[in-house]
Amino acid sequence: MRRMGQDVGCDHFEQRDFERFGRRLREETEALHTLQETAALSAHAPVVGLELEAWLIDADGRPAPRNDEFLAALGCPDIVTELGRFNVELNVPPQPAAGPGLAQLASELQSRWSRCRNLAATLGVQPLAIGILPSLTDADLSLANLSARARYRALNEQVQRQRHGRPVRLDIDGPHGEHVHSEHRDVMLEAAATSFQVHLQLPAGRMVRAYNAALIASAPLVAACANAPLLFGRRLWAETRIPLFEQAIGLATREDGRGAPLARVGFGSGYAGWSLVEPFRENLERFEPILPVALHEPAERLPHLRLHNGTIWRWNRPLVGFDADGRVHLRIEHRPLSAAPSLADAMANLAFAVGLIAALAVQPDPPELQLPFDDARDNFYRAARDGLDAALRWPGRGATTTARELALALLPAAADGLAWLDVPPADRASWLGLVEARVASGRTGAAWQLDALDASGGDTARMTLAYAARQAAGEPVHRWSRPARR
């Protein structure tokens, strides 16, 4: 289940590269369709995985662009580069959902995080998990801080080619009356957003329902887990990563028959119907390849399809993977969540996400038949903007309900979903209890950051160090003290 982004061997392509890649992409999309039609996709028992993106910061709370040095010293193949030289990504081997699987994920995540912290201390830096680093400045997002990997150079060149040299324009207005406007001629804005990605694999026959459930569940999950309210010192959305990442690439698709474009980073175009092959067909028909690399993996590994899919960033993205016996599976990568304030919060967020998605996927009345896709999409952006105060539409709850009320009301369903996945009662009670305490108190990571910014008198480096100290202590965010006022 590990996915760290396929690397590429060059950063410049010609027309014949795009033509060759397009042929292989069409062939592999048809091959995936055949696997679906012949019931050859994996019917594996539920499996869960995760990825945690993090920052490296220096002793002053500022971004430390030293991931090459850090990773070379660390020597761990599961901890890798990200786009920015101040970012790294931790991958944890996937585990069966049943029994001690989620507890094993938590243990493995803690082990890797501790290893990162110990090694980083010898270099005078420390890792930090947070959606957007408060002390980040626009000037930090320059090509000088692009990680030294051919994939990233190629991505930057090809995004600019498709934009015909037009700058990427960032324009975010927050509900607090503050705003950020910026222009970049590269992809480095993407490096400002770090996430906690949850992977869920269910038997093939459950995956359409699970994908639609993930779309619907995204709004209450984002509100309950928000941890990115600041960019360049400005108060913006509760989960500013959402508009930031959508605008950072700035590419839309070819228009459909109605003349409507579809963003390359976004919520998607609709629920899945008959299978999860549908999004891959949409990839083929509506998205121009960005990295038309000649890949030499066997065709049955669907390498071009996987690479192309990796350059289309739906907030809930279907992925192709392989079981230990080589059988192809489909899984969901749930992408909207920020890196959390603590590892306890991260695992609580994972439990809430997989439990709620599973519950909605197996309930007798499919929620996608009760909540129009447009409402699910609008819910998502309202939750990202307004957090727990967002007004959301939900079947059976009147015209609207607040995200806080909805998240609390959905916790029993998430517990039922975890029970269906055979997660032990003590584990599900412990993790969902953290979510309940956080939501009931309103003390999300986003809320703490805004309070901390006030207490620090607007000093973002000072509040970053206060955040780092509390993260190192390991307590969940709803128990964090407010920094002393300056």
| Nearest Cα to Cα of residue 129 among 140, 117, 121 | 117
C-alpha distances in Å from residue 157, one per residue of 169, 233, 461 = 17, 29, 32
Q: So what's the pLDDT on residue 130?
A: 98
Is 226 in contact with 445 (CB distance < 8 Å)?
Answer: yes
| Nearest Cα to Cα of residue 175 among 379, 459, 389 | 389
Listing DSSP states for 253-303 in one string gives ----TTS---BSEES-SS---S-THHHHHHHHHH---S------S-GGG-H
Cβ–Cβ contacts within 10 Å for residue 272, how many? Answer: 19
Is 102 in contact with 168 (CB distance < 8 Å)?
Answer: no
Residue 44 banded pLDDT, cuts 50, 70, 90? confident
Q: pLDDT (tens digit, 9 = 90+) per residue, 261-286?
A: 788 999 999 999 999 999 999 999 99
Strand 234-235 and strand 87-96: the pairing is unpaired
Q: How far apart are CA 386 and CA 236, in angstroms?
A: 9
Is 54 in contact with 82 (CB distance < 8 Å)?
Answer: no
Residue 80 banded pLDDT, cuts 50, 70, 90? very high
Partner residues linked to 180 by β-bridges: 172
Element (H, E) at 107: helix 101-122
Which residues does 69 contact at the CB level (< 8 Å), separation at least 6? 123
Q: How far apart are CA 9 and CA 154, in angstroms?
A: 9
Over residues 289-318, mean pLDDT? 94
Over residues 137-146, mean pLDDT? 96
Rounded to the nearest 5°, which phi and psi values hold at 68?
A: -65, -45
Is 335 in contact with 393 (CB distance < 8 Å)?
Answer: no
Q: pLDDT (tens digit, 9 = 90+) per residue, 245-265?
A: 999 987 766 555 455 678 899
Listing DSSP states for 153-184 in one string gives HHHHHHHHHHTTTPPEEEEEE-TTS-EEEEEE
Partner residues linked to 265 by β-bridges: 313
Q: So what's the pLDDT on residue 176?
A: 86
Helices 207-225 and 373-386 sit at what angle, rounded to 10 degrees?
20
Helices 241-249 and 373-386 sit at what angle, rounded to 10 degrees?
110
Residue 4 banded pLDDT, cuts 50, 70, 90? very low
For the chain, the straight-line distance linking the first and the last C-alpha, in angstroms and rounded, comes to 46
Residue 2 banded pLDDT, cuts 50, 70, 90? very low
Q: So what's the pLDDT on residue 165?
A: 82
Residue 475 banded pLDDT, cuts 50, 70, 90? very high
Number of helices (H) and strands (E), helices first, in the chain?
Answer: 14, 15
Q: So what's the pLDDT on residue 11?
A: 59
Is 286 in contact with 256 (CB distance < 8 Å)?
Answer: yes
Residue 399 banded pLDDT, cuts 50, 70, 90? confident
By percentage, how much of the chain surpasses pLDDT 70? 96
Mean pLDDT over the full length of the chain: 94
Is 194 in contact with 53 (CB distance < 8 Å)?
Answer: yes
